[in-house]
Amino acid sequence: MTSTTQLQGSVAIITGGSRGLGRYCAEQLASQGCKVVMVGINPQSVADAQLQLQSKNLDVIGKVADVADPVAMDRLVVELGELANPQILINSAGVMSAKMTKTLRTSNDEWHRVLGINLDGVFNSVSRFAPSMVEQRYGRIINLSACLGRFTGPGLLGGLAPYRISKTGVNALTKNLAAELQFGARNVLVDAVCPGHIQTDMGGETAPRTVAQGADTVLWLATRAQTDQTGLLWEDREVVPY
C-alpha cells in the first residue's frame, strides 16, 4: 500500500477518533476508501462522530472503550472481530493534565489519570493491534505526541508534569517499538508526531494552527511506503529531535 488509491479496503483504527485530530483523520482516511474504527470514551461523543461521518456516506464505526483500561481494550478486540487487524493505527486519544500540575503539586489521582490514558493507552492499543501487523507484514502506527514531551525545546520548561512526562514516554515507546520491529524491515512503521498547538477542544479555539495542519503529518505517515526512516518524532513532515 503505497498510495492513497490503495487505501481502498484497508482498515484504520483511531483511538481518540471521536473528536479533534483523530476525528479529522477518520474523515480523511474514510474519504479515501478506508474502513475506519473511531474509538472514544464518551458514548455521546462517539455516537455523534459516527452519525456525522456516516451521513456523508463514509465507512466508519464508532466504539466506546477506555484506552487506559486493559479489560475494556480486550473487550474491544473481541467486539471488532476481523476489524481488529488494521493496516493503520493512529493513537490520538489523550488528555491534558490539570492546571498547576508541577511535579510536587500533582496528586496521585491526576498522575495516574493522565499517564493511564496518554501512555498506558498507547501500550494497550499497540499491544492489541500491532501483532497482526507484524504477521501480515504491513502496518503504519502513528502516536500523537507533543512538543511538550521533548527533551529538546519546550519540554525543558517544567510544569504540566503528568502531560509532559506521558508524552516523553510516548516518544520512548515509539522508538523502542520501532527498534523491536527492526526499523521498518518488516514493513511495520512506528512513528510519533508533534502536531503543534491545534484548534481542538484540547488546544482551544485561539490556538494558532488548524486541525488540518496538525493532522497533515499524521495522514502522510499513515500512507507512507516502506522505509527505514521510522521510530522518529515528526513535525510538519520533518524529523525533530526527541
Catalytic residues: 163
| 202 touches ligand NAP (CB under 6 A) | yes
- In contact, 18 and 49? CB cutoff 8 Å: yes
| 15 touches ligand NAP (CB under 6 A) | yes
The strand pair at 233-235 and 35-40 is best described as unpaired
What count of other Cβ atoms lies within 10 Å of the Cβ of residue 76? 25
Query: For ligand NAP, which stretch binds (CB under 6 A), given 98-106, 130-138, 195-203, 226-234?
Result: 195-203
| 27 touches ligand NAP (CB under 6 A) | no
Name the residue with the smallest CB distance to ligand NAP. 20
Q: Which residues contact 20 (CB under 8 A, 6 or more apart)?
A: 92, 198, 200, 201, 202, 203, 211
Tell me which of 61, 172, 207, 240 binds ligand NAP, using CB under 6 A.
Answer: 207
Give the nearest distance from C-beta 235 to ligand NAP in angstroms. Answer: 10
> Binding-site residue total for ligand NAP (CB under 6 A)?
31
Kindly tell me which of 1 and 142 has the beta carbon lying closer to ligand NAP: 142
CA atoms of 43 and 51, how far apart (whole Å): 12
Tell me which of 130, 188, 198, 222 binds ligand NAP, using CB under 6 A.
Answer: 198
What count of other Cβ atoms lies within 10 Å of the Cβ of residue 1? 19
CA atoms of 182 and 188, how far apart (whole Å): 9
What count of other Cβ atoms lies within 10 Å of the Cβ of residue 39? 30
Give the nearest distance from C-beta 165 to ligand NAP in angstroms. Answer: 13
Kindly tell me which of 19 and 128 has the beta carbon lying closer to ligand NAP: 19
Q: What DSSP state is assigned to residue 160?
A: -
Query: For ligand NAP, which stretch binds (CB under 6 A), given 64-72, 81-89, 181-189, 231-239?
Result: 64-72
CA atoms of 5 and 174, how far apart (whole Å): 27
| Binding residues for ligand NAP (CB under 6 A) | 15-16, 18-22, 39-42, 45-46, 66-68, 92-95, 117, 144, 146, 195, 197-198, 200-203, 207
